[in-house]
Structure 1
């Protein structure tokens, strides 16, 4: 196995892990076209024999908080000079105020957020490991903008979805998914993730090329 082949196989493994759901089989004619050389801005790149490329879509979660304000506080934002304009706010404060605020942050750094989620799977039968993964994959394939969590607490496998501050918000999603997941119910949990700032744009879609192995040709029987 040459270096180029090993690199493409490694890329295949990494992208397969990142993909949200399994991809359907590509028609033989599409595989044949993809197996040819692929041209890009840097020239021509070759595809290893027995492999082909196909386009796919991935969904990337949006930031949970406004990154423009990350690491900042009101004491530094108000008197800041931005875009060449002189600051028109002057803050006169005791150093004890900033020290008190920092102490409050440090003392609550490990504090968890309590909220609500929706349990869509809860079972302990022998096939629960595979069943819970299948349920999670089905949900994420249908609702790309809702986070899903799979856990095991002896002897149960659980799949829980969503991050909601109030039960009312969780109820809205429950009504939406109840037809596909009739056994779903709301649970109160401690340690939910910080909900997305913009719920209408909780994820962004992007395209990528997946390198995959072509099926082995069937041996023709001769009479």
Structure 2
């Protein structure tokens, strides 16, 4: 009788362990609900980023220094020259403010004339020149 109780108890324990594996298993179904506005926002961001390039042939560098001064300089530039795009580029150990996207040096020189009135240290650069 004692042996039968032990075998029955042991059998119940083994059955419980074997069947509990199915109870605690997880399914791999994942449903992601995303608002349509997020996708529209991403498309708009991609479109805006495609316009900001540093791969054009010529740019004008109007400032180099620390990040705070670079941000102030870029904001001031965008207020005065709203039609010309600009960006801040990090080049160890300083930040540089580059403006414009010019295909030819003549275009860059024309823009430099008006920019130099406000930013005396402005120079024409070729970002990809090695």
**TM-score, normalized by length of structure 1?**
0.33
Query: Could you tell me which residue of structure 2 aligns to residue 146 of structure 1?
Result: 84
User: CA 1:154–1:163 in structure 2 vs 1: closer, same or farther (change >3 Å)?
Assistant: same
Which is greater in Rg?
Answer: 2
> Is 1:119 matched up with 2:61?
yes
**Structure with greater proportional strand content:** 1
- Structure 1 residue 175: Cα displacement: 0.2
Q: Deviations over 1:75-121 (max 9, x none)?
A: xxxxxxxxxxxxxxxxxxxxxxxxxxxxxxxxxxxxx9540000001
Q: Is the 8 A contact 2:58 2:124 kept in 1?
A: yes
CA distance in 1, matches of 2:95, 2:107: 25
- Structure 1 residue 161: Cα displacement: 0.2
CA distance in 2, matches of 1:185, 1:148: 14
Query: Could you tell me which residue of structure 1 aligns to residue 110 of structure 2?
Result: 172
User: CA 1:121–1:175 in structure 2 vs 1: closer, same or farther (change >3 Å)?
Assistant: same
**What stretches of structure 1 move > 2 A for 4+ residues in a row?**
none
CA distance in 2, matches of 1:168, 1:154: 29
- Structure 1 residue 122: Cα displacement: 1.4
Larger RCO (CA within 8 A; separation ≥ 6)? 1
Q: CA RMSD in A?
A: 2.1
Query: Could you tell me which residue of structure 2 aligns to residue 132 of structure 1?
Result: 70
DSSP-derived class of the 2:126 partner: strand
User: CA 1:171–1:136 in structure 2 vs 1: closer, same or farther (change >3 Å)?
Assistant: same
- Structure 1 residue 154: Cα displacement: 1.5
Count residues in correspondence.
78
Which runs of 5 or more structure 1 residues have no equivalent in the other structure? Answer: 1-60, 65-111, 191-223
**TM-score, normalized by length of structure 2?**
0.55
**Structure with greater proportional helix content:** 2
DSSP-derived class of the 2:121 partner: coil
